[in-house]
Amino acid sequence: MRESTPLVDRVRARLAADPAMTSQAAVAALVRQEAGGLVGDGDVLDAVRATVDELSGAGVLEPLLRLPGVTDVLVVGADRVWVDRGAGLEETGVRFADDEAVRRLAVRLAASAGRRLDDAAPWADVGLPDGTRLHAVLPPVSGSGTCLSLRVLRRARLDLTDLAAAGALPGAAEHLLRALVARRCAFLVTGGTGTGKTTLLSALLGLVPPAERVLVCEDAAELDPQHPHVVRLLTRPPNVESVGAVTLRDLVRQALRMRPDRLVVGEVRGAEVVDLLAALNTGHDGGCGTLHVNRAAEVPARLEALGVAAGLDRAAVHSQAAAALSVVVHLRRAAGGRRVEELGVVRRRGELIEVVSGWRADGAEAPAGAELAALLGVRA
């Protein structure tokens, strides 16, 4: 991968002195001037692209972000850059001049999203203007040099048929999921990072009847269902003065005033769980969201932790969840790819709730199989 060259450095210095020259044509003209006219069109194009990446893109990381299939670009100091293209981490040949170069890139990227990153605020977690998610940590908090994590968010456009063809819906999974949406059951799509929760949820929302209005609340624009009436609300981080933040909880409250037929929270991970559960208990059938858990059976504990942190007591969280949720769709990422592993039924157990397996991809016994079938209106 290319690194900054003396030619690019000279062009960058000229542009810094005259910020008005921002068009690619102006950059190309500066390249030819600095090169003394002894470069061909291909060299000019490379230098222009490198300069634009340095000024407005992700610098030497930009080519990695453009690679097909890349989901993550990870930087640990100046000399270790990794990518994930779906088959695990791969170390690249990209190198920075020094850790100060990594820090400059991190500070510039954070500033492009209106966030402060310096010794007083040594970390940042923010969505960049192009949709990429940035997390940065500066030394001395990071003992390995400046660390960058860039998550490439690609909007999911696969439908349920595509996922079935890819092997993500084994056995009766597709039939059960279609019934889940048709019956307007409230559900959560669960799993670990990278298991395909957003992709599956987007495909399921594409099954919602076109006459229904879908309100989607997200941190970043990941969900892209093939549906004619989708309203998207996005969070906003605070600006450099630490004001102006819009949280998921704010969005859920606004969405409830916008006549939703289906309320969707892209990822339930904080205080918004209180508003989501409340919303699903006020006649908004068919609501859904995603949640990070290792196993479907751990959903009650995860909801309890989030709800208690938001101010509800344990009994209230379980009572709200029991009335609001019907099904948990759990995904797992294994050597064979990502797939639906289990459908669980949310049921009461005294004052608490539990998630009991109603269908399993491995064919193992599902204690709540008949209950799931009755809930979805299908044969057991």
pLDDT of 305 strictly over 90: yes
At 63, the pLDDT band (50, 70, 90 cuts) reads: confident
Q: Is the pLDDT of residue 42 over 90?
A: no
- What's the pLDDT band for 344 if we cut at 50, 70, 90? very high
Please write the tens of the pLDDT for every residue from 365-376. Answer: 999 999 999 999
Residue 165 has pLDDT above 90, yes or no: yes
The 8-class DSSP code of residue 368 comes to T
Range name among 16-30, 158-172, 208-222, 227-241 with the lowest pLDDT average: 16-30
Q: What is the pLDDT of residue 18?
A: 58
The more confidently predicted of residues 154 and 82 is 82
Mean pLDDT, the chain, whole residue set: 85
- What is the mean pLDDT of the segment spanning 295-323? 94
Among 21-25, 196-200, 280-284, the range scoring the smallest mean pLDDT is 21-25
The predicted structure's pLDDT at residue 230: 96
Query: Which of 20-34, 182-196, 252-266, 329-343 has the lowest average pLDDT?
Result: 20-34
Sheet holding 288-292, edge to edge: 230-234, 214-218, 262-265, 288-292, 187-191, 327-334, 337-349, 352-360
Q: Percentage of the chain with pLDDT > 90?
A: 51
d(CA 103, CA 321): 44
Confidence of residue 308 (pLDDT cuts 50, 70, 90): very high
> What local confidence, expressed as pLDDT, does residue 44 receive?
54
pLDDT of the residue at 163 = 93
Residue 267: what pLDDT? 86
Edge to edge, what strands does the sheet with 123-127 contain? 89-91, 81-84, 72-76, 147-151, 133-137, 123-127
pLDDT: is 190 or 240 the higher one?
Answer: 190
User: Within 10 A of 23 (CB to CB), how many other CB atoms are there?
Assistant: 10
Looking at residue 228, its pLDDT comes to 95
Count CB neighbours of 202 within 10 A: 26
* 282 against 171, higher pLDDT: 171
Report the pLDDT value the prediction gives residue 68, as an integer from 0 to 100: 85
232-239 long-range Cβ contacts below 8 angstroms, 24+ apart: 237/113, 237/114, 237/115, 237/126, 237/127, 238/114, 238/115, 239/114, 239/115
Report the pLDDT value the prediction gives residue 173, as an integer from 0 to 100.
96
Residue 38 pLDDT > 60, yes or no? no
* 32 vs 234: which has the higher pLDDT: 234
Neighbours of 301 (CB within 10 A): 11
Query: Is 73's pLDDT higher than 70?
Result: yes
pLDDT in tens, 205-225: 999 999 999 999 988 778 889
Q: How confident is the model at residue 1 (pLDDT cuts 50, 70, 90)?
A: very low
Residues 6+ apart with CB under 8 A from 283: none
